[in-house]
Amino acid sequence: MDEQLVSKVLILDDSAQHRDALREFCDANHLVGLKVRKSRLMSVLRTNIDLGAIFFSENYALTPEESAELAVRIHSVRPELPIILRRETAADFAGVPDSLRRATCAVYRAGDWTRLKEIVDHHIFSLYYPCELVRGISELTESVLAAQFPTLAVNWETPCVVRDRVIFGEVFSLIPLESNWCRGYMMLQTEEQGLLDYLLRHAGRTEAGFRDVNNLLAEITNLIWGGFKNRYIGDGGAALRQVQVPLVVNHRHKYISFGSDNPQLCFLYTLRDEECGQEIRIFQRFVFNLNWSPEDFKVVLHAGDSLVAAGELELF
Amino acid sequence: MAKILIVDDSSTVRDEVAGFLKAAGLEVATAIDGKDGLAKIKADPGLKLVVCDVNMPNMDGLTMVEKVRAELGNKSINVIMLTTESSPAMKERGKAAGIKGWIVKPFNGAAVLETFKKLAA
C-alpha cells in the first residue's frame, strides 16, 4: 500500500491555461483533483466525497459578483471546507468583495505554486500522521475485517486527510481513543443493507434486523479498537483525563462535529462478494480532537508478543 | 455434560462462541455483562468453565472474576478471558484473581476446543 496520505480537492476553475499546471501541482503534492459540472456542484457538496479543500477561481462564475455569491453558498453548505481563492494578477484580497473574502481562507496568484503549497500545507496537511500509524491502522483493520468477513475480499484505498464532516451511510459507531499521545475517536460508517445481506447470505442467519447490524458493527469497532490499543497505547492510556467537548450530530444534514477544525484521517475499506459482485463500503475516520502529539507516538512492544498470536490461548 | 458460561456484551461474540461450542457438543449458557455473569455463576454450582470478555458495561470482566474469587472462595471455576486487550498489566490482574488463561480476539474455536473441554470437565 502507498503510505503517503492524499487529500481530495474539488477544483472549481475553468481556466484551460491553468488546468494542466494545476493538475501537475496536485500530482506533485499528494492531492487528488476532482472536477464537477456547475449544475451538480451543490448536490455533490451535500454528499460524502471526503474532501480536503476547494480550489476556487475568482473567474469561476460569469461575473465577480456571481463568483462571490457562489463561494458564499458553498461556504454556507460546507463551512468546514477551506476555500482557496485563485486570482489572475493580484496576490492578496485587494478588490475582492467582502463576502468572497469572508468565505475563503486564503488567496494565491495564478502560477504562484510556492504560495499555494504553503496554503495546502497549512489548511490541509496541517497535522502530521506517522507512516507507521497509517500503515498499522490499515493492517490491523484489514486483519479484523478479513476475520469477521471470511467469505468476502477486503480492499482499501489510499488513506486520505479530510476536512468535511459529512456522515456516510446510515449507521456509524464511535469509540474513544485515549493515550498520552492522542485523544479522540475512531468512527466507522457504513450502509445497513450490505451488512444485512452479509448476515443473511454468508453468516448462516435466517433472519436479521438492524440490531444485528448494530451488533456486528459494534464488534468490528471493538476488535479494531483493541488492536489499536494493544499496538499503540498499551498501559499508557489509563490515566484519567477530564477534558471533554460536546459532539454534535445534525441528522438533517448528516453532519457530525467534534468541536475541532482539525483535519481527520480517513480510510475506506471495500468488502466485495466475488460471486455476486456486491460490495460493502466501510469508512473509518480517526478524529484526534482532544489531543494530538505525534512526537510522543510509539509502537508498544509487549514481552512475548511473538509467542501468542491472536485467537490462541495463553495458559497461566 | 460439561457446561460453559460465555460472558460478553457483544451478541455477535456470544452467538459465534456459543454456536461453535454447542456444535462441538458442549452445553453453553450466556451472560450479557459481568453483573449478569456473576449472578449466573453464583446460581450454578456445577459450572466449571467461564469464558469472559474484559470490557463490558455495568461490570467489567476482571472485576467479575475478582468478585467470584472473593465471594465464592476457592471454588474450582476455571476462567478464560476472551478479549481484545493484551495489556500485561491486565493479564497480571487476571492472574492475581486466579484466571486460567487469556485469548486475544478474534475467537479461533479450533485452536482452543480441546483445552476448553478439559477445563470444563
d(CA B2, CA A316): 22
Angle at CA of residue B48, ends B45 and B50, nearest 5° = 105
Contact B90, B69 (CB under 8 A): no
- For residues A107 and A39, membership in a common domain is answered with yes
Identify all chain A residues contacting B13, using CB atoms and an 8 Å cutoff: 219
CB within 8 Å of A61: residues ≥ 6 apart: A67, A69, A70
Q: Is B93 on the interface with A (CB under 8 A)?
A: no
Query: Distances in Å between the alpha carbon of A30 and those of A120, A186, A283?
Result: 10, 24, 20
- For residues A92 and A159, membership in a common domain is answered with no
Residue A301 falls within a domain, yes or no?
A: no
Residue A304 falls within a domain, yes or no?
A: no
pLDDT at A204: 80
d(CA B48, CA A303): 30
Contact A216, A163 (CB under 8 A): no
- For residues A41 and A92, membership in a common domain is answered with yes
Domain boundary among A75, A106, A123: A123
Residue A312 falls within a domain, yes or no?
A: no
**Residue B2 binned pLDDT confidence (cut-offs 50, 70, 90):** low
Residue A307 falls within a domain, yes or no?
A: no
Looking at this protein, which amino acid is placed at residue B104? V
pLDDT at A303: 57
Residue A71 falls within a domain, yes or no?
A: yes
Residue A306 falls within a domain, yes or no?
A: no
Residue A2 falls within a domain, yes or no?
A: no
Domain range enclosing A154: 131-296
* Residues B82-100, mean pLDDT to the nearest whole number: 91
pLDDT at A110: 92
pLDDT at A308: 59
pLDDT digits 0-9 by tens, A15-30: 888 888 999 999 999 9
- Residue A88: give its domain's CATH number: 3.40.50.2300
Identify all chain B residues contacting A226, using CB atoms and an 8 Å cutoff: 83-86, 104-105
Longest dimension (CA), chain B: 35
* Residues B53-62, mean pLDDT to the nearest whole number: 90
**Residue B64 binned pLDDT confidence (cut-offs 50, 70, 90):** very high
Q: Is B114 on the interface with A (CB under 8 A)?
A: no
Instruction: Tell which of B9, B21, B22, B86 to mutate to test the A interface (max A CBs under 10 Å).
Output: B86
Question: Least CB-CB distance to B87: which of A218, A219, A234?
Answer: A234
d(CA A103, CA A79): 8
pLDDT digits 0-9 by tens, A278-289: 999 999 999 998
- For residues A185 and A260, membership in a common domain is answered with yes
- For residues A142 and A237, membership in a common domain is answered with yes
**CB–CB contact A315 B100 (8 Å):** yes
Nearest alpha-carbon partner for B101 in B35, B67, B61, B51: B51
- For residues A73 and A119, membership in a common domain is answered with yes
- For residues A28 and A107, membership in a common domain is answered with yes
> Any idea what DSSP says for residue A158?
P
Domain boundary among A95, A123, A151: A123
- For residues A11 and A95, membership in a common domain is answered with yes
Identify all chain A residues contacting B79, using CB atoms and an 8 Å cutoff: none
- For residues A140 and A240, membership in a common domain is answered with yes
Identify all chain A residues contacting B112, using CB atoms and an 8 Å cutoff: 312-313
pLDDT at B1: 61
Q: Could you tell me the pTM of the whole model? A: 0.85
**CB–CB contact B99 A316 (8 Å):** yes
Query: Distances in Å between the alpha carbon of B11 and those of A149, B53, B54?
Result: 16, 12, 15
What is the distance in angstroms between the Cα of B32 and the nearest Cα belonging to chain A?
13
What is the distance in angstroms between the Cα of A154 and the nearest Cα belonging to chain B?
17
- For residues A95 and A33, membership in a common domain is answered with yes
| Residue numbers of chain A with a pLDDT score lower than 70 | 1-3, 48, 236-242, 302-309
3-class SS at B96?
helix
CB within 8 Å of A94: residues ≥ 6 apart: none
Domain boundary among A104, A123, A142: A123
Q: How many CB pairs under 8 A join A and B?
A: 84
Q: State phi, psi for A214 to the nearest 5 degrees.
A: -60, -45
- For residues A96 and A143, membership in a common domain is answered with no
- For residues A98 and A154, membership in a common domain is answered with no
pLDDT digits 0-9 by tens, B27-52: 999 999 999 999 999 999 889 999 99
Number of structural domains found in chain A: 2
ipTM score of complex: 0.82
Nearest alpha-carbon partner for B30 in B3, B60, B65: B3
Ordered domains of chain B (ranges, CATH) = 3-120 (3.40.50.2300)
**CB–CB contact B80 A234 (8 Å):** no
- Residue A195: give its domain's CATH number: 3.40.1550.10
Residue A113 falls within a domain, yes or no?
A: yes
